[in-house]
Every structure is written in structure tokens, then in C-alpha cells.
Structure 1
Amino acid sequence: MFRSFVAFALCAASFLAQAQQPPLRTVELRAGMFRIEAEVAATEAARETGLMNRKTMAQHQGMLFVFETSQEYCFWMKNTPLPLSIAFMDETGRIVNTAEMQPMSEANHCAAKPVRYALEMNQGWFSAKGIKPGSVIGGVAGVR
């Protein structure tokens, strides 16, 4: 009886966790000749959760954070076990600056000037592809 209750409780907890984090829509982006499949975090709840608690992500996948206004946003890696790189972009998708972020860290990584978007990819992705400040991520402009 106790085992059944524990199994039920674990299943219920798993279901509730999934119900609180519905799947995010995805968009296709381009960085030069490279294709990116990005989940769109356009709501406050989605931006707050981000990639927290995820252990893996395919090399061509990422998360695009969309903000209503341009500001100097900052990110941290609390509860995020994936090592990530982030690109901060203006309203046209032009990269303002990038940063390498360490897993489970509360260190801030901030945009160098007001931005409208941020794109998280697996750590080292931008540098390995030669994508740097001034590069444009195609498909970003207009994503809401």
C-alpha cells in the first residue's frame, strides 16, 4: 500500500511539474550558414524558468528570450546544470555581446547596452561557429 502511494505521489509530482511548464513554441533562426531551432521564452514565467533543470540540449537547439522593451538585461545560471553561451541582441538580431556561463552559478552576465533578445546555446557554440558581436542572427527580428 505504501509503495503504491509513493509511486502515485511521484507520478503526480511529475505530472504537475510538466503541467506548470508547458512546451514552448519553437522558431527557426539562422547564424550565417548554421540553423538553430530555438524555443521561445516570451512570457515572464518562461523567461524565469529558462533552461533550468535541463541536463542536455542538442547542438542545433537553443532558447530565445524575447523582451517587450530594450534594456540591459542580466542572466544567471542558478539551477541550470548545462554550461551555456549567451548572445545579447538588439531589435534587428545584431549581437551586441556574448558571454560564457558556468552551470549552477549565480554570477551575472549582462548585456553591454540595451537589447531586445538573448539567445542561449550550448557553451562554446558561438565561438566555434565564428559568431561574434556584430553578427546578425536571422529570424530573430519580429519574434514576439
Structure 2
Amino acid sequence: MLALLAGACVAAPTQPATHTLTLHGHVFHVELATTDAQRDLGLMHRTHMATDHGMLFAFAYSGVQTFWMKNTLIPLDMLFFDKDRKLVSMQLNVPPCTADPCPLYPSGKPAMYVLELAAGTAAQLDIQTGDTFSLEGRIGPVH
């Protein structure tokens, strides 16, 4: 009987919590990366991401943000937003890194948020610099 109860307590793997982000009239389900550990891991080791999903990186400061694709297996669009959530620059169709060292992809302008989407999404939806995003709920503390 005890073995049965112990087996019932094994938790199923959980999916990351997502938040609803709206950009250029389109809704995305995004994971938040607000800590150094979450930002360091990002979308590494994932083999697929739906076109209506993404990851929003939030920083405690505005500055030139630089990303790379180390251990990232899917091509991405990187959208850089300022403190007012206005799109200031983009790196589009960024391929997975296949060489070491991996290339760097800077924002070029001060940014506080970076939204990673499946490659080609920004062009397909005609997302343009100057667009702003809204997020359901709070981003929470950023470390």
C-alpha cells in the first residue's frame, strides 16, 4: 500500500508558466526570463517553438543588450525594446550557433527587454521598429 501511495506522489513534468504578450495586434504566449540564471539559459537545448510562443527577457537596466545562440538549436528573431516597451531594433533569422565562439547579436541601441520569437515571425507579421508590446500581468522583480 505504501508503494502505491509513493508512486501516486510522483509529479508530472511541468510546462513553464507563460504570460500573454500583445505586439502589433498579435498575441504571443511568452515565458519570462527575469533572473540571471533564466536569462543565461534562455531557449537553449529546445528543438521546437510554436510561432505564437516566445521568451521575454527583462533586465533591471536599460543598455545595449548583446545575445548569442550558444546551445540554441532553433533559429530565432530577436526584438529589442526600450524601457517604454517600444521596439528599437531587431536581429532577424538568427541561425543556431554551429561554431565556437558563437557570433554576438547586439541591440545597437539601449534596450531593457528582448523578445525572442521563432525565426521569420517578425517579417511574417510585419512587426516594425516603433511598435510597442503590452503584457498581461506584471513582469515581477528583475535581478
- Asked if 2 retains the 8 angstrom alpha-carbon contact of 1:93 and 1:141, the reply is no
Where do residues 1-144 of structure 1 align in structure 2 (5 Å cutoff)?
Answer: 24-100=16-92, 101-105=94-98, 106-139=102-135, 143-144=139-140
Describe the SS at the equivalent of 1:143.
coil
Task: Provide the alpha-carbon RMSD of the alignment.
Answer: 1.9
Output one character per residue of 1:65-109: Cα deviation in whole Å (capped at 9) or x when no partner: 010111101000011010000100011211000002111251111
Q: Which has the higher contact order (CA 8 A, sep 6+)?
A: 2
Deviation at 1:57, TM superposition (A): 0.6
Contact 2:57 2:113 in 1 (8 A): yes
Number of the residue aligned with 1:12: none
Name the % identity: 31
1:26-74 Cα distance to aligned partner (Å, 9 max, x none): 2111012210100000000000000000000111000000101111010
**3-state SS, counterpart of residue 73 of structure 1:** strand
Cα drift, residue 142 of structure 1: 5.5
Partners of 2:32 and 2:122 lie apart in 1 by 19
Structure 2: gaps spanning 5 or more residues: 1-12
Q: Is the 8 A contact 2:67 2:105 kept in 1?
A: yes
Alpha-carbon distance between aligned partners in 1 of 2:25 and 2:54, rounded to the nearest angstrom: 16
Higher strand share: 2
> How many equivalent residue pairs?
124
Q: Which structure has more helix as a fraction of its residues?
A: 1
Q: Distance in 2 between matches of 1:24 and 1:65?
A: 14
Give ranges in structure 1 of 5+ residues lacking alignment: 1-17
